[in-house]
Amino acid sequence: MLLVGLTGGLACGKTFVGRALEELGCHFVQADDLGHQVLAKHGEAYPDVVREFGPSILAPNGEIDRRALAALVFDHPDRLERLNRIVHPAVRRRQDALVAAIALHDPRAIVVVEAAILVETGSYHRFDRLIAVVCGREEQIERTMKRSGLSRSEVEARLNRQLPNEEKARLAHYVIDTSHSKEHTIEQTRLVYESLRSIEQQ
């Protein structure tokens, strides 16, 4: 089995690339989905997060309001660190269990795990190969404004808190640039898949 990390900055197109790899035959795991699961009402991180940040983060149905939680930690690195210490181990356990189950049923699998902060956390070292998805900063701003409704200054503030795309690309085995057409992105992705498959078959 080949374990592949897929990362990139805000609105660079990680999920698009991940879905394209899935269509080509990879197994695709999204860390953000696992994050939703562990923060759900019966998720393993739920009680500790509520205890740490208080009832103000809860929606009327008792679920964690992710926007309210994000507002509490966004401009406070110490709070974000406390949140990550609770959530990341739970996500890692779910991820490892998923990967183990895939490996059991498909020993020749290529498993692609998408996560925005693989490089920042140092967890990219756990992967056999790393793919960085990149695009221009202006494209990141325009895409994020279009899909989120955030102002330009709000998007730039978020980008300024992220590791630059160039740093992620420098550490990656493969770089996919989504600045051009979808067809161009898919063609790059196909070439990466063919390379990964050749490695896995060795």
Q: Tell me the whole-structure pTM to 2 decimals.
A: 0.92
Q: What is the pLDDT of residue 200?
A: 85
Ranges in the chain, pLDDT < 50: none
Domains of the chain in start order, with CATH, are: 1-26+109-202 (3.40.50.300), 32-108 (3.40.50.300)
Q: What is the pLDDT of residues 88-111, one digit of tens each?
A: 999 999 999 999 999 999 999 999
* DSSP SS3 for 180: coil
Nearest Cα residue to 111 out of 91, 97, 122, 121? 97
Give the model's pLDDT for residue 166: 94
| Range list of β-strands (E), 9-163 | 27-30, 110-114, 129-134
pLDDT (tens digit, 9 = 90+) per residue, 72-92? Answer: 998 888 999 999 999 999 999
Distance (Å, rounded) from C-alpha 126 to C-alpha 149?
Answer: 35
Strand ranges of the sheet holding 27-30, from the earlier edge strand across to the other edge: 27-30, 110-114, 2-8, 129-134, 174-177
Identify the pLDDT of residue 161.
84
